[in-house]
Amino acid sequence: MPSVAQGVGLRYANLTCPVRRPIAEHCSLTYVFSMASLRDDFLRFVSQTSPEPMGVEVSTSHGCIVVDTTGKEYLDLLSGIGVTGIGHTHPATVKAIKAQAERYLHAMVYGEYIQKPQVDLARRLAEITPGDLSVTYFTNSGTEAVEGALKTARKHTGRPGFVSFVGSFHGDTFGSVSVGGNPVYREPFEPLLPTTTFLPFNDCNGLQAIDETVAGVIIEPIQGEGGVRIPDDDFLPALRKRCTEVGALLIFDEVITGFGRTGKLFASEHWNVVPDILLVAKALGGGMPLGAFISTAQIMATLSHDPALAHVTTFGGHPVCCAAGIASLDVILQENLVQCAQEKGEEFVRKLKTLRGEGGCTEVRGRGLLIGMDFATPHITQRFVQECFARSLVLGWTLHEDTVVRLAPPLVISSEEIDRAVSIMRQVLGHL
Ligand SMILES: Cc1ncc(COP(=O)(O)O)c(C=O)c1O
């Protein structure tokens, strides 16, 4: 029977990328770092989320480009999944981060001290968000924004129910998984919130199921992980009407679609529908971790009493992240990136449509720079993504539709970069 130390050694030996070896039998619990690569250590020490991570070893990044440690340049058509709308490592956010870091970092848990970057960003958000959404609660991530909104809706209405939509994605904490519209990602974690009902996306007939027992209805105005699904023009207005009729809070999850991605500052503006609670994250922090749920003063007051401190966070609204968020918002507005997303999106879709019919690409659609490409089979979709990646083009899958490739490049993408991307895709499709 092997000793514990030998057992550890054996386990290491069985892995594909052993990185530590015992110096000698008699001191086999002492390990020295051998010539293990960063990749080896990544696979061993960093918890993995899939069997096949992309594994780019990042050296630097700027604009739409991520450079690996060999100097290879990747054209990023995903913006780190919707985050780097203003481009990677924008100098304005870097400058703001440095300046704030020299003033103060964490000073106190959320909601107690008055921190200028937080207050300034909240005021700026009140200016740009639709309707009378004017009070912001900052979080560290999108899923925390979802959790905050669900709790607010419950407490504000005193009702038990939630409604969500088939194909939706809202994050990976328990509340968010409970309202996630794909059973594949719910079932391993059940029991979840028992009072959630899933309705078909983009089906006005289903909306009568929303009744007086419902606290909140959560929806992405354009489904991202659901396969870049854009609703018909009557759907979101009908949803707004039904929520108002029964007194349920309408929660728009704009974690992916926010801050210009779809050619409007917020996707809800395409339909002139104002939610009761707006969720943002990803692009909000300009590359730093920041999310928020934003609502009216009346609804947000729910969280401050009976009891007080019932919804708090240590790091939400970190001053450095808020400083980056202000800088990022300035860039978006001053460089007119919302308009850019609209124009570049139309150009990209037009050029991508010339690929239809080649190598299994069947359809292309988009709003601004949130674009979906449909393929004939999951296998072709997967091969397309892999072959593009092999040619330094980063594009991606969607979680819930295995025949859709999603593109969400930085809003600063140039025509040359669009042409390069389309040309690589054409080459790949020619070989599928
Ligand atoms: C629409 C939507 N909501 C919520 C989330 C969760 O955000 P986070 O990963 O920051 O928790 C995501 C993440 O991809 C998302 O796409």
Distance from chain centroid for Cα 169 = 9
Is the pLDDT reported for residue 25 higher than 70? no
- What are the beta bridge partners of residue 367? 370
Write out the two tokens for 325. 């968020």
Q: How far is the CA of 404 from the centre of ligand 1 (A)?
A: 18
Q: How far is the CA of 282 from the centre of ligand 1 (A)?
A: 7
- Cα(429)–Cα(112) distance, integer angstroms: 56
Q: In which region does residue 87 sit, left (phi positive, over 0), alpha (psi from -120 to 50) or beta (all else)?
A: left
pLDDT, average across residues 226-234: 98
- Does the CB atom of residue 264 touch ligand 1 within 6 A? no
Q: What is the pLDDT of residue 134?
A: 98
Bond preceding residue 307 cis, omega within 30 of 0: yes
Reported as a single tens digit per residue, the pLDDT across 348-360 is: 999 999 999 999 9
Residue with tokens 């859709």: 404
Q: How far is the CA of 252 from the centre of ligand 1 (A)?
A: 12
Q: Residue 21: pLDDT band by 50, 70, 90 thresholds?
A: very low
Q: How far is the CA of 257 from the centre of ligand 1 (A)?
A: 10
Q: Residue 27: pLDDT band by 50, 70, 90 thresholds?
A: very low
- Cα(69)–Cα(182) distance, integer angstroms: 37
As a three-state string, the secondary structure of 281-346 is CHHHHCCCCCEEEEECHHHHHHHHCCCCCCCCCCCCCCHHHHHHHHHHHHHHHHCCHHHHHHHHHH
Q: How far is the CA of 224 from the centre of ligand 1 (A)?
A: 10
Closest listed residue to residue 236, CA positions, set 277, 264, 207, 261: 207
Q: Containing H/E element for 175?
A: helix 174-178
Q: How far is the CA of 170 from the centre of ligand 1 (A)?
A: 5
Residues 6+ apart with CB under 8 A from 388: 394, 395, 424, 425, 428
Residues 6+ apart with CB under 8 A from 106: 314, 315, 318, 319
The region of weakest confidence among 21-30, 149-158, 247-256 is 21-30
pLDDT, average across residues 386-412: 95
Average pLDDT score, the chain: 92
Is the pLDDT reported for residue 276 higher than 80? yes
Q: What is the pLDDT of residue 242?
A: 98
- Does the CB atom of residue 170 touch ligand 1 within 6 A? yes
For the beta carbon of residue 315, count every other beta carbon within 10 angstroms.
15
Reported as a single tens digit per residue, the pLDDT across 116-150 is: 999 999 999 999 999 999 999 999 999 999 999 99
- Assign 3-state DSSP to the chain and report helix, strand, coil percentages, each to 5: 40, 20, 40
In a mutational test of the pocket of ligand 1, which residue from 139, 144, 169 has the highest number of ligand atoms less than 8 Å from its CB? 169
Is the pLDDT reported for residue 19 higher than 70? no
- Does the CB atom of residue 220 touch ligand 1 within 6 A? yes
Closest listed residue to residue 122, CA positions, set 270, 256, 319, 276: 319
Over the range 143-173, which residues count as b (16 or more CB within 10 Å of their CB) and which as e? bbbbbbbbbbbbbbbebebbbbbbbbbbbee
- Does the CB atom of residue 260 touch ligand 1 within 6 A? no
Is the pLDDT reported for residue 392 higher than 60? yes
Q: What is the pLDDT of residue 375?
A: 97
pLDDT, average across residues 197-211: 98
Residues 6+ apart with CB under 8 A from 179: 146, 150, 162, 164, 168, 170, 193, 196, 218
Q: How far is the CA of 34 from the centre of ligand 1 (A)?
A: 38
Q: Residue 408: pLDDT band by 50, 70, 90 thresholds?
A: very high
Reported as a single tens digit per residue, the pLDDT across 232-262 is: 999 999 999 999 999 999 999 999 999 999 9
Distance from chain centroid for Cα 263 = 17
- Does the CB atom of residue 142 touch ligand 1 within 6 A? yes
Closest listed residue to residue 217, CA positions, set 233, 236, 232, 230: 236
**Closest ligand 1 atom, residue 81 Cα:** 14
Strand order in the sheet with 65-68: 58-62, 65-68, 73-76, 393-394
Closest listed residue to residue 394, CA positions, set 416, 410, 376: 410
Is the pLDDT reported for residue 304 higher than 90? yes
Closest residue by Cα to atom 8, ligand 1, is 142
Q: What is the pLDDT of residue 34?
A: 57
pLDDT, average across residues 65-83: 98
**Coil, helix or strand at residue 233:** coil
In a mutational test of the pocket of ligand 1, which residue from 49, 81, 140, 143 has the highest number of ligand atoms less than 8 Å from its CB? 143
Q: What phi and psi values does residue 290 have, to the nearest 5 degrees? A: -160, 135
- Does the CB atom of residue 143 touch ligand 1 within 6 A? yes
Q: How far is the CA of 145 from the centre of ligand 1 (A)?
A: 9
